[in-house]
């Protein structure tokens, strides 16, 4: 899962195999001035403020600045010691390999963090935007995910100076937007998605680097490409472009007067406009033969906050209406049994926030609870079991 704040797996996988690379695993950027855009006027009284989902882990933060996480804990992605152990036989090129994975089947408060303003989750790491405007990251540190020269899962301060307004993670890359409009990024830079540079590629930014030429009021980070909405309403992207080129920041063709942006797994991205109809590109419409390389208006997604996950997407409308579509592997849309839903289907809850990971999702409900659905092999649903669910189930705190 990543958040706009203008004003503001525990799973160590012991295997003799390489981890599978993945796409974007994060909660996309929220729009507006609050992290729960459809909350009622009583939002200030609510416990839960927002969600951030990674590939196989989930986190939430409270109005008091607490951080709670559950699911897979790849070298500390959920910031706690292992509480549960999962043993599986998994396929590999050498045949089946027995693995031991440490995780948490229910939410546990993350120690060492206080006064959290927002969380964002990447492939197997999590970053927290603190009340003082600094950023702290924890989890699996390969590719420079933690902004520190380590692969261990301790807490690391990446941006220590005050003044960070927003932080967003996409796969193995994370960026922060400062109150000045400056954007700084760290992690995987194989396509220039962290640095905004054409060369060198296939590098990892262990320390945060500044992206030149971007005066941003909002950021949205995909796995392989990064975006910024500028003050003039244009949207700029850097990293892997739809035509396969890579490099420095450049305007996204056809986007003007954007009021918000969102990006997610597989290159799905949209720009919001004042009339409510988003302009989208990438794999937003999942039954297309190919992803759109240039933005097109999508009226069917109008007047909604969009969230893109690993093969499943969701929209959240004013009043709490939640609908999702996609491949529905292990129930990843939360809409019941079935395979590949091409159009949005209603999820049977009223929600104020939603986030998606790989084949699972979670929402903060209108009555201030957390409900999750989909894959649950590592406790992603936070309900004390490993049983997947095609419909939302409540987490157990």
The answer to whether residue 369 scores a pLDDT higher than 90 is yes
Mean of the per-residue pLDDT values of the chain: 82
How much is the average pLDDT of 209-235?
A: 94
Identify the bridge partners of residue 28 per DSSP, sorted by sequence position.
none
Per-residue pLDDT, 8: 38
Tens of pLDDT along 108-136? 999 888 899 999 999 889 999 999 999 99
The answer to whether residue 16 scores a pLDDT higher than 50 is no
Per-residue pLDDT, 20: 34
Least confident interval from 21-30, 180-189, 225-234, 291-300: 21-30
Q: How would residue 360 be classed by pLDDT, with cut points 50, 70 and 90?
A: very high
Q: How would residue 385 be classed by pLDDT, with cut points 50, 70 and 90?
A: very high
Q: How would residue 144 be classed by pLDDT, with cut points 50, 70 and 90?
A: confident
225 vs 156, residue with greater confidence: 225
How much is the average pLDDT of 88-100?
A: 61
Tens of pLDDT along 160-204? 666 999 999 998 999 999 999 999 999 999 889 999 887 666 688
Least confident interval from 97-111, 282-296, 326-340: 282-296
The answer to whether residue 93 scores a pLDDT higher than 70 is no
Residue 1 to residue 58: CA distance in whole angstroms: 8
The answer to whether residue 233 scores a pLDDT higher than 80 is yes
Residue 325 to residue 342: CA distance in whole angstroms: 6
Taken in order 324, 325, 326, 329, is the CA torsion positive or negative? positive
Say if residues 36 and 50 touch (Cβ distance below 8 Å). yes
Domain residue limits at 96: 3-394
Residue 228 to residue 334: CA distance in whole angstroms: 30
What domain count does the chain have?
A: 1
Least confident interval from 40-44, 159-163, 289-293: 40-44
Per-residue pLDDT, 25: 34
Residue 368 to residue 364: CA distance in whole angstroms: 6
Q: How would residue 244 be classed by pLDDT, with cut points 50, 70 and 90?
A: low
Residue 204 to residue 65: CA distance in whole angstroms: 31
Least confident interval from 15-24, 194-203, 245-254: 15-24
Say if residues 360 and 332 touch (Cβ distance below 8 Å). yes
Per-residue pLDDT, 58: 96
- Residue 160: CATH number of its domain: 2.130.10.30
Per-residue pLDDT, 397: 81
């Amino acid at each position: 899962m990543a958040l706009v704040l203008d004003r503001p797996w525990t799973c160590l996988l012991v295997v003799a195999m390489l981890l599978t690379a993945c796409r974007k695993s994060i909660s996309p950027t929220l729009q507006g001035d609050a992290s729960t855009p459809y909350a009622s006027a009583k939002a200030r009284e609510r416990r839960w403020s927002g969600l951030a989902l990674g590939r196989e882990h989930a986190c939430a933060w409270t109005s008091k600045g607490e951080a709670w996480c559950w699911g897979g804990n790849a070298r500390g992605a959920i910031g706690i010691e292992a509480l549960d152990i999962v043993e599986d036989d998994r396929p590999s090129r050498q045949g089946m390999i027995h693995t031991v994975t440490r995780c948490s089947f229910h939410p546990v408060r993350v120690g060492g963090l206080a006064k959290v303003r927002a969380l964002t989750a990447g492939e197997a790491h999590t970053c927290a935007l603190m009340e003082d405007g600094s950023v702290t990251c924890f989890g699996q540190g390969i590719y420079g995910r933690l902004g520190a020269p380590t692969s261990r899962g301790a807490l690391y301060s990446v941006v220590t100076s005050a003044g960070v307004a927003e932080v967003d993670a996409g796969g193995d890359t994370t960026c922060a937007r400062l109150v000045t409009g400056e954007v700084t990024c760290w992690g995987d830079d194989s396509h220039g998605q962290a640095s905004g540079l054409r060369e060198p590629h296939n590098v990892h930014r262990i320390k945060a680097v500044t992206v030149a030429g971007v005066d941003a009021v909002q950021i949205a980070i995909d796995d392989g490409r990064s975006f910024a909405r500028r003050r003039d309403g244009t949207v700029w992207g850097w990293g892997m472009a739809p035509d396969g080129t890579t490099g420095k920041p450049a305007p996204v063709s056809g986007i003007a007067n954007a009021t918000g942006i969102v990006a997610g797994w597989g290159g799905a991205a949209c720009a919001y406009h004042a009339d409510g109809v988003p302009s989208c590109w990438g794999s937003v419409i999942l039954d297309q033969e190919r992803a759109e390389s240039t933005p097109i208006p999508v009226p069917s997604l109008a007047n909604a906050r969009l969230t893109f996950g690993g093969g499943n997407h969701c929209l959240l409308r004013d009043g709490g209406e939640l609908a999702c579509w996609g491949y529905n592997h292990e129930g990843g849309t939360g809409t019941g049994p079935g395979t590949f839903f091409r159009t949005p289907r209603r999820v049977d809850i009223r929600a104020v926030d939603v986030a998606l990971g790989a084949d699972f999702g979670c929402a903060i409900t209108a009555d201030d609870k957390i409900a999750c659905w989909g894959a649950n092999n590592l406790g992603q649903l936070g309900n004390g079991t490993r049983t997947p669910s095609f419909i939302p189930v409540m987490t157990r705190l």
